């Protein structure tokens, strides 16, 4: 029904607010670099078809999941930018597809600009049959990223930019159902055609020793029941030298393990402050859950990362 179709075009100065407003996505962001967060989100669709463009102005660790029950494609709006997504480097003319129930786990840079396109599998299968191709699942064969023809990807990007511009400047009011149905059919046709002529799948690289160690270390840092006390502790758990772990963190996150630990703890406090009661909850008690006990140093580190004091976050929760 038409009332189930929604349109959103909004800017956000808070990444928690961005995540909360990204309908049908389950998002959880951690800010990795210092500075004010800025973003723009454009969404049009319903529970079965979703056209999204997202621009994010900070380096982020992105976690969560795409819309449930749909096939979600990702395409960088600019071929000159990149994202590390599910242990793959996505850049240029690579089209990526979320596996069923697949996690979003990526590191994006401050110039991140992406189109995500979510469609029902039956619509993709109809298009495959009309083009005398195998069913969609057989066509992709479990592959998550494809190297596509540059000319076809350029045409797709131009069309997506034109569509996003039209939605942003003339928000759909009437005949939303017809517009969304046309958009679904056009997306299915263009995406299936690009996959059919793709140069080949992008294979996942073999996991190196430092990649395995990094995964162990990050999982330990993210475990709320096992607070990390030192880099040496991580090295012991991951069975690698401090030098190896340092290189792994700088390669993936652009910061040392020590800085990543601090950044993760500060992000965790921020999430708690955003959902706290300004009249009842106390900052020092919330910070204490993440082992912050020197309030002066905590406030300084917090403001350095987020460009606001903890009290400002709590007041605006």
The rounded distance, in Å, linking the Cα atoms of 249 and 259 is 10
Q: Which CATH class is domain 209-315?
A: mainly alpha
The rounded distance, in Å, linking the Cα atoms of 67 and 118 is 7
Question: End-to-end alpha-carbon separation of the chain, Å?
Answer: 34
Query: What is the DSSP code string of 44-86?
Result: EE-SS-EEEEEEE-S-EEEEEE--TTSEEEEEESSTT-EEEET
User: Which pLDDT score is estimated for 210?
Assistant: 87
User: Which pLDDT score is estimated for 221?
Assistant: 92
Residue 84 neighbours by CB distance under 10 Å: 19
User: Which pLDDT score is estimated for 59?
Assistant: 96
Rg (CA), the chain: 21
The rounded distance, in Å, linking the Cα atoms of 317 and 311 is 10
Structural contact between residues 15 and 60, judged by C-beta atoms closer than 8 angstroms: yes
Query: What is the DSSP code string of 104-163?
Result: EEEEE-TTEEEEEEEE-HHHHHHHHHHTT---HHHHHTT--EEE--HHHHHHHHHHHHHH
From residue 269, give the alpha-carbon distance in Å to each of 30, 32, 60, 129, 148.
Answer: 11, 14, 16, 51, 42
* Main-chain phi, psi angles of 203, to 5 degrees: -80, 145
Domain map (residue ranges) of the chain: 2-201, 209-315
Question: The CATH number of 2-201 is which of 2.60.120, 1.20.1250, 2.30.320, 3.30.1380?
Answer: 2.60.120
- DSSP conformational letter for 170: S
Q: Which residue has the tokens 């106390």?
A: 282
Are the folds of 2-201 and 209-315 the same? no
Average confidence (pLDDT) per 10 residues, the chain, 317 residues: 82 94 96 96 96 97 95 96 93 92 88 97 96 94 93 97 96 89 96 91 75 92 80 92 94 94 95 93 94 95 97 89
Exposed (0-12), middle (13-18) or buried (19+): which is 156, by Cβ within 10 Å?
buried
3-state helix, strand, coil in the chain (%, to 5): 45, 20, 35
Cα three-residue angle 112-115-121, rounded to 5 degrees: 140
């Amino acid at each position: 029904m038409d009332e189930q179709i929604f349109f959103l075009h909004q800017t956000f100065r808070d990444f928690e607010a961005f995540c909360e407003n990204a309908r049908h996505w389950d998002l959880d962001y951690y800010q990795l670099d210092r500075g004010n967060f800025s973003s723009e989100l454009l969404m049009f669709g319903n529970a079965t078809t979703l056209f999204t463009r997202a621009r994010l102005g900070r380096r982020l660790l992105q976690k969560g999941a795409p819309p449930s029950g749909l096939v979600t494609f990702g395409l960088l709006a600019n071929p000159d930018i990149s994202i590390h997504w599910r242990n793959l480097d996505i850049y240029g003319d690579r089209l990526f597809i979320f596996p069923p129930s697949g996690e979003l786990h990526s590191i994006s840079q401050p110039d991140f600009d992406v189109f995500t396109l979510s469609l029902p599998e039956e619509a993709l299968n109809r298009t495959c049959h009309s083009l005398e191709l195998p069913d969609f699942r057989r066509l992709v064969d479990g592959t998550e990223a494809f190297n596509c023809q540059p000319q076809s990807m350029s045409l797709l990007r131009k069309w997506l930019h034109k569509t996003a511009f039209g939605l942003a400047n003339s928000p759909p009011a009437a005949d939303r159902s017809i517009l969304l149905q046309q958009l679904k059919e056009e997306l299915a046709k263009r995406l299936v055609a690009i996959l059919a002529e793709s140069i080949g799948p992008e294979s996942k690289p073999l996991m190196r020793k430092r990649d395995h160690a990094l995964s162990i270390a990050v999982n330990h840092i993210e475990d709320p029941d096992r607070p990390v006390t030192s880099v040496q502790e991580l090295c012991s758990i991951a069975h690698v030298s401090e030098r190896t772990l340092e290189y792994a963190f700088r390669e993936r996150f652009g910061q040392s393990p020590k800085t990543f630990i601090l950044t993760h703890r500060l992000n965790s406090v921020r999430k708690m402050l955003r959902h706290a009661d300004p009249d009842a909850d106390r900052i020092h008690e919330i910070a204490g859950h993440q082992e912050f006990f020197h309030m002066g140093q905590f406030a300084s580190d917090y403001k350095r990362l987020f460009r606001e004091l903890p009290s400002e976050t709590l007041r605006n929760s």
